[in-house]
Amino acid sequence: MLVRDRVLGIVHKHVKIAEEKITDDANLANDLGVDSLTLFEIILDMEKEFACEIPEKESNDIVSLGSAIAYIESKIVQGLAK
């Protein structure tokens, strides 16, 4: 399964928007209505799904589906995620 599909599934689980309407450039807070608690839950789910750690200072860079995908892909390339 593609990284994008896995991340999209996690985000979709936490927002009440049709999966096909969640685009890579959709801002999690402004476009999808993700609040800080929900973002924290998304980050935790991503850590579990990809067996990696996402430090708080790095999680601040996750502002869209695309940035979340890029972050996880970089971790996989570094051998820090699965």
- pLDDT tens, position by position, 39-71: 999 999 999 999 999 999 999 999 999 999 999
In angstroms, rounded to a whole number, what is the distance separating the alpha carbons of residues 51 and 37? 21
CA 3 to each of CA 36, 41, 62, 68, 79: distance values in angstroms, whole numbers, following the listed order: 23, 18, 15, 10, 14
Exposed, middle or buried: residue 66 (CB in 10 Å: 0-12, 13-18, 19+)?
middle
pTM recorded for the entire structure: 0.90
Mean pLDDT of the chain: 93
Of all residues in the chain, what percent carry a pLDDT higher than 90?
Answer: 85
Assign 16 to helix, strand or coil.
coil
With 90 as the cut, is the pLDDT of residue 21 above it? Answer: no
φ, ψ at 55 (rounded to 5°): -60, 150
For domain 3-77, which CATH number applies: 1.10.1200.10, 1.10.8.100, 3.40.1160.10, 3.30.1360.30? 1.10.1200.10
